[in-house]
Amino acid sequence: NNIELVNSSLNYLKSFTNNNYNSTTQSPIFNAVQAVITSVLGFWSLYAGNYFTFLVGSGGKIADVYGNPPPSTIINNCSSKEVGNLYCGMDTTTYDKMKKLAEDLQAAQTNSTTKGNNLCALSGCTTTDSTSNPPSSTVNNALNLAQQLMDLIASTKTGMVWKNIVISGVSKEPGAITSAGYPTQYAVFNNIK
């Protein structure tokens, strides 16, 4: 009787381990990684989406990058009682590094050809001669990119002007965030990092 129970338990455990290691659909660990990457990319979209929450420039010149807000929105809204000397400007070189990390992370998650999943199972990526564009990004690589992006955002200490974030049905509602502060001051950043 006990040997049957042990064998049954071992079979369940092997199945669970196999699913976690080899599957991209039945692995809670893989799904958690996907959720983290999606959260990091979601924060990036808030921080530097179609309309930045900061101003990009170098050497006293405003950079010609898509999404750079008019300087007046930063000048008028980049102030905070909670943060002394809040700075809502970002050097172009730093922004370019962040943007590249975000683009690489997006590419790690989504196959550019098929628009499907590009992350391999925890067991790794399989090599194939097929032209079917199988997933080609390792979980480890994707998590490293996500960590680098979040660390760079945190260490850059560029303030966010929340008034620059416009989300239909949210932005003008009572209780919407209208302050300006560093990303590390907000739960939406800290809960991801």
Q: In whole angstroms, how far apart are CA 91 and each of 59, 104, 158, 169? A: 8, 20, 10, 32
| pTM for the model | 0.83
Coil vs helix vs strand at 62: strand
Sequence length of the chain is 193
Coil vs helix vs strand at 91: strand
pLDDT in tens, 69-123: 988 888 888 876 555 566 889 999 999 999 999 999 999 998 878 888 888 888 8
> CB-based contacts of 186: which residues, under 8 Å, 6+ apart?
160, 177
CB atoms within 10 A of CB 128: 9
